[in-house]
Amino acid sequence: MGEPLRYFLDTARLLGPKLASILFQLPPNFARDMGRLGDLLAQLPPDLRFAFEFRHASWLAEDVYARLRAANAALVIADSAESSTPLVATADWGYLRLRDEGYTPSDLEAWARTVKEHEARWRDTLVYFKHEESGTGPAFARALAELVGTALPG
């Protein structure tokens, strides 16, 4: 493992039990590079959870999903007004980034169904809403938690 990655992971570990996962968010102009993905996954320790948000469409492919599955790394299911990631499970846990600022109650009900449908596949599901000035994200989180029947982390 390279020193910058080791330092980053050692620093992240200081979060202790509050460290749910580590997100790698690739820039929209970074096209699929299986060599780089494989090199990174080979360096990641198995005791931490890693999620990958690919923002270039070339990454949304079966060989990428297979590589993530082999490492038990989650494909980030991202949803925004502009685009959505296919709902593909690549780990035994899920990671949702819900970034639309205008979710309706029926939208949240649909996401709650998605979480419930994956309960058998995912031991848990991490859901993150967009952080914005209007403060709708926390309200969406409370509503979704109620629909799913779970408590928000404290």
Q: What is the pLDDT of residues 62-84, one digit of tens each?
A: 999 999 999 999 999 999 877 78
Q: How many CB atoms lie within 10 A of CB 30?
A: 14
- The fraction of the chain above a pLDDT of 70, given in percent, is 99
Q: Would residue 154 count as lying in a domain? A: no
Q: How far apart are CA 129 and CA 97, in angstroms?
A: 6
**Residue 65 half-sphere exposure toward CB, CA atoms < 13 A:** 11
Threshold 0.75, pTM exceeds: yes
pLDDT at res. 60 = 96
Q: Where are the alpha helices (DSSP H) in 30-122?
A: 34-43, 62-70, 105-117
Q: How many CB atoms lie within 10 A of CB 103?
A: 22
Q: What is the DSSP string of 85-96?
A: ------SSSEEE
Q: Would residue 61 count as lying in a domain? A: yes
Q: Is the pLDDT of residue 93 over 90?
A: yes
Q: Would residue 153 count as lying in a domain? A: no
Report which of 37, 12, 119, 28 is spatially closest to residue 80, judged by C-alpha positions.
Answer: 28
Give the domain extent around 82.
3-148
pLDDT at res. 36 = 96
> What is the count of structural domains for the chain?
1
Q: How many CB atoms lie within 10 A of CB 74?
A: 27
Q: Would residue 59 count as lying in a domain? A: yes
Mean of the per-residue pLDDT values for the chain? 92
pLDDT at res. 38 = 97
- The fraction of the chain above a pLDDT of 90, given in percent, is 77
Q: Would residue 84 count as lying in a domain? A: yes
Cβ distance 52 to 73 under 8 Å? yes
CATH number reported for the structural domain that contains residue 128 in this entry: 3.20.20.410
Query: What's the average model confidence in pLDDT over 122-135?
Result: 85
pLDDT at res. 81 = 77
Query: What's the average model confidence in pLDDT over 49-74?
Result: 97
pLDDT at res. 154 = 61
